[in-house]
C-alpha cells in the first residue's frame, strides 16, 4: 500500500508544474560553451571604455549570468538591457512573412513577459547595475547608449538586426566586441539574423566569423 502511495505521489509530481522544483531543467538559450565565450568577450574588453549592452534580453537569464560573472571578476561597468518585454514587433514579423516567406506562427514566442518581471529577476538575484529599457529597437537612436565596450545583440529577426548593426558598431569603442546571436542559416525561424549579420560584414569588406555554431563575432579595430 505504501509503495502505491509513493508511486502516485511521484506521478503527480512528474505531471505537475511543480516538477521543475524537483527535476531542474537547463533553462538557458545558450549552451555552456557559448556562455563561457560570452564571458570571455566581457573579460577581453575589461579595459575598453563603454557600457555593456544586451538587446533582446527576454526574461533575464543571460543578464543575470553575465552580471554575476562581472561582479565576481570585478568588472564594474554599467549594463543596459533593451527589450519590448512583450514579444516581437508586428512590423518585424510582417517583414518576415511578406519579404522572407516565413509563417507567422513561428514568431509567437516571448509574449508572456514584462519589464516589471525582468526588473524583479534582477533584484531577486542581487543584480543592481542593470538599467532596463522597454522599447522597440527600430525606434531607438543607439547614440543614446553612448560608447559601448560589449554588445550582445539578440533581436532574432532580419529587420531589427539590419537596423541595429551599423548603429551599434558606430557606438562601439575601439577594441570593443559585438556578438550577434542566431547566425545560423539552417535555423528557419531565426535565419534573418544570419542574413543581416553576413550582409553587414560583407558591406564592411570583412569575412563573417561565426563561432560556437551561431554567434556572429565583430570586433572593432583599435
- Give the pLDDT score at 107: 66
- Give the pLDDT score at 128: 96
Burial of 169 (0-12, 13-18, 19+ CB in 10 A): middle
Q: What is the 3-state secondary structure (H, E, C) of 69-136?
A: HHHHHCCCCCEEEEECCCCCCHHHHHHHHHHHCCCHHHHCCCCCCCHHHHHHHHHHCCCCCEEEEECC
| DSSP secondary structure string for all residues of 188-206 | TTTHHHHHHHHHHHHHTT-
Domains of the chain: 28-219 (3.40.50.150)
Q: What is the mean pLDDT of each run of 10 residues along the chain (222 residues)?
A: 54 52 80 97 98 95 97 97 91 86 69 87 96 95 96 94 96 98 81 94 97 97 92
- Give the pLDDT score at 26: 86
Contact indicator for 38, 53 with CB cutoff of 8 Å: no
Give the tens place of pLDDT for each residue, 2-37: 455 655 555 544 455 555 556 778 888 899 999 999
Amino acid at each position: 500500500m505504501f509503495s502505491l502511495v509513493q508511486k502516485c505521489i511521484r506521478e503527480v509530481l512528474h505531471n505537475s508544474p511543480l516538477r521543475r522544483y524537483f527535476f531542474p531543467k537547463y533553462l538557458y538559450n545558450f549552451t555552456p560553451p557559448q556562455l563561457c565565450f560570452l564571458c570571455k568577450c566581457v573579460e577581453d574588453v575589461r579595459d575598453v571604455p563603454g557600457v555593456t549592452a544586451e538587446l533582446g534580453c527576454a526574461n533575464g537569464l543571460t543578464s543575470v549570468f553575465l552580471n554575476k560573472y562581472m561582479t565576481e571578476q570585478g568588472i564594474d561597468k554599467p549594463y543596459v538591457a533593451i527589450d519590448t518585454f512583450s514579444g516581437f514587433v508586428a512590423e518585424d514579423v510582417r517583414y518576415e512573412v511578406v519579404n522572407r516567406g516565413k509563417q507567422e506562427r513561428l514568431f509567437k514566442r516571448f509574449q508572456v513577459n514584462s519589464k516589471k518581471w525582468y526588473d524583479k529577476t534582477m533584484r531577486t538575484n542581487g543584480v543592481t547595475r542593470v538599467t532596463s529599457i522597454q522599447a522597440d529597437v527600430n525606434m531607438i537612436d543607439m547614440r543614446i547608449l553612448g560608447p559601448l565596450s560589449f554588445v550582445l545583440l539578440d533581436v532574432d529577426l532580419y529587420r531589427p538586426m539590419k537596423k541595429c548593426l551599423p548603429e551599434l558598431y558606430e557606438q562601439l569603442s575601439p577594441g570593443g566586441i559585438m556578438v550577434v546571436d542566431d547566425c545560423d542559416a539552417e535555423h528557419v525561424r531565426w535565419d534573418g539574423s544570419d542574413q543581416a549579420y553576413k550582409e553587414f560584414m560583407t558591406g564592411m569588406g570583412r569575412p563573417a566569423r561565426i563561432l560556437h555554431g551561431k554567434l556572429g563575432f565583430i570586433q572593432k579595430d583599435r
